[in-house]
Structure 1
Amino acid sequence: MSSGHGTIERRRSRRSADVRPVPGPSAKGPGPGRRRGKRLSRLLSSSLVQGALILVALVWITPLAGLLISSLRSEGDNASDGWWTALGDPSQLSLDNYGALLKDSGIAEAFGNTVLISVPTTALVVAIAALAGYAFAWLEFPGRDAIFLVVVGLLVVPVQIGLLPVAKLFGAVGLFGTVAGVVLFHVAYGLPFAIFLLRNYFAEIPREMLEAARMDGGSEWRIFSRLVLPLGRPAIASLAIFQFLWVWNDMLVALLFADSGSQPLTVALQSQMRQFGSNIGVLAPGAFLSLVVPLIVFFAFQRHFVQGVMAGSVK
């Protein structure tokens, strides 16, 4: 009896092993309707994003295109009708305004002053901030944290507070109304943000990498120049773009600290605004020239700028 009972049990176990479960409705993948819904939502989301970006680009490009076309038309054409009429009559466009602008000694001198102010300011801010940022991040010295807190506190000090005191100081030392005075003011007020930015970026460099360089006999200057600076190139490029654009487009500081011989292009164009109707042939090409230079700088360093902005967002 026992052997017969065991045989029956073995047959039942074989039958149960041969039976496979039939997948129910929940085991099936998403139906055709659900897949179409996902594709539609994905398409709509991408289309909405692309449409929004195109709209923003059109809003930004339209005034720029109007300024460019106005700079290529004569004063009579600009006074008679809108700039869009030149799209149907390209014969209105010429480079005469730019030729006259380059012959204008005041505008040409102002453009040169803008370069003399923007380039040294950007170079000094980047160089000093890089050295200070490395010191605050990786060097031990007395009062390091307290000094860095002072630097961070200077970030909230508005530029307008220091205009009159610095103007009196520059007048006493003979820097008022000079290019050097404008450069020094921009350097002083650009350093707190620059030091704060580069210090935080340099602090993310792995400590083991710096310790290995020190164990190999590298000096602090060699570590800074050969290791830290190449790794910090994206942040340095972003800082250089920000600083250059800020100084190039500045008018408040230059309006107060520069005289007629050291005024930048923004101040020179602002002085022409009093007679806008008769000076449109100078204002339009001058404004476009003032606009196109920062655009060239931005697109030239666009790759480094994006890397610097996105730095630290992905671990």
Structure 2
Amino acid sequence: MTTLQTAQAGQTDATVPTASGRPGPGAAARAARRLVGGSTRLVLLVVAMFWLLPTVGLLLSSLRGPLDIGSSGWWTVLTKPAQLTLHNYTSLLDDPTITHSFLNSLLITVPATLLVVVVGSLAGYVFAWVEFPGRDWVFLLIVGLLVVPLQVALVPITSLFGDLGIFGSIVGVVLFHVAFGLPFAIFLLRNFFAGIPRELLEAARLDGAGELWLFVRVVVPLGGPAIASLGIFQFLWVWNDMLVALIFADADSAPLTVALQQQTRQFGTNIDVLSSGAFLSMIIPLVVFFAFQRQFVSGVMAGALK
């Protein structure tokens, strides 16, 4: 076989010439196109159903009475829907400890998320586009803080908060979450903001825009997906946290996770209270995630492409 014949054979294996003379999609492209068919969607649908199965089971268990929970599994609701009742939730919401801890969760999570997003966005912009001495070394120090586990800081921060008089308060829990959320926030947003075209910022500066105007009018709109992704990550981390709240919060400032843990300790067999409380604790993060799902996916995909 000559060299020309070998090249033609290789071209036949890799691409298929079209009527216009241009090579068509190769074997890899055709295989990828077949994978995006109905069979793949069916497999993904089955995987999603299995992934949601524990959530559905928890929801149905929270709508059953204690006798039904102790005698049969949650799947019996499919054949006996008369088991469903809202009594567990009414009893749970009538408990002042649960309602107060739910309010504490909001008072801890919302400020901790907003502070991390705002301060992280400002710092990310500064490290990306503002020149100052030692900028790269300070950024490397912040990146190094990502590998520091929060368990290392529990004892010294406890002593510090005790000296400041904020140990056992909501303020102390919020400050701890902000301190450990900022390194990741600065790292994420700095890398995203650095991908903004320099020409765009220079053109705005030539028009007389200041740094604050650039940040608010140019950088924040372009970095919206990344900022939304950071907000979701921070909200989920703080809302589901129990270790930090268990150490730094007292009985009056304990969030919902700590209140449920105390219910487990006091009523170990009271599964109706635990199931409804666990689903109540899970529904808020689900609402936040689905509300910002589009921005979250856009931010993750943009970070992957960068």
**Which of 65, 71, 83 is the matching residue for 2:62?**
71
1:217 to 182, 200, 208: 208
Amino acid at match of 1:253: V
- Whole-angstrom CA distance in 2 between matches of 1:40 and 1:161: 50
- For 1:60, the equivalent position in structure 2 comes to 51
Does the aligned pair in 2 maintain the 1:73–1:94 contact within 8 Å?
yes
User: By how many angstroms is 1:41 displaced?
Assistant: 9.2
CA distance, structure 1, for counterparts of residue 185 and residue 219 of structure 2: 16
3-state SS of 1:259 partner = coil
Task: Give me the whole-angstrom Cα distance separating, in 1, the residues matched to 2:241 and 2:223.
Answer: 27
Q: Deviations over 1:255-300 (max 9, x none)?
A: 1111111111111111112355542221111100111110110010
Please show how residues 149-168 of structure 1 align to structure 2 within 5 Å: 149-168=140-159
State yes or no: 1:226 paired with 2:217: yes
SS at match of 1:311: helix
Q: Which runs of 5+ in 2 are unaligned?
A: 1-11, 18-28
Give the distance between the partners of 1:310 and 1:197, measured in 2 at CA.
13
- In structure 2, relative to structure 1, the CA distance for the partners of 1:41 and 1:297 (3 Å cut) is closer
Q: Secondary structure at the match of 2:247?
A: helix
Partner of 1:306: 297
Cα-to-partner distance string for 1:81-134 (whole Å, 9 max, x where unaligned): 111111111111111111111110011111111111100000000000011011
Contact 1:235–1:308 (CA<8 Å) still a contact in 2? yes
Structure 1 stretches of 5 or more lacking a match?
Answer: 1-25, 31-37
Task: Give the Å deviation of 1:54.
Answer: 2.5
Q: Is residue 2:85 matched to residue 1:102?
A: no
Q: 2:130 aligns with which of 139, 152, 157?
A: 139
TM-score by length of 1: 0.84
Aligned residues: 281
Aligned position for 1:183: 174
Q: Partners of 1:276 and 1:218 in 2: how far apart?
A: 61
Displacement of 1:167: 0.7
1:297 maps to which residue? 288
Report the residue type matching 1:191 in the other structure: L
**What does residue 201 of structure 1 align with?**
192
Q: Which one has the largest radius of gyration? A: 1
Partner of 1:286: 277
- Tell me the equivalent position of 2:247: 256
Give % identity: 63
1:75·1:278 contact (CA, 8 Å) conserved in 2?
no
Tell me the CA shift for residue 39 of structure 1: 8.7
In the aligned structure 1, how far is the partner of 2:268 from the partner of 2:120?
44
Cα deviation per residue 1:139-160 (whole Å; 9 max; x = unaligned)?
1112211111110110111111
Note if 1:83 corresponds to 2:69: no
* Correspondence for 2:120 among 129, 150, 175: 129
TM-score (structure 2 length as normaliser): 0.87
Cα distance between partner residues in 2 of 1:310 and 1:216: 32
* 1:8 counterpart residue number: none
Preserved contact between residue 79 and residue 277 of structure 1 (Cα < 8 Å): no
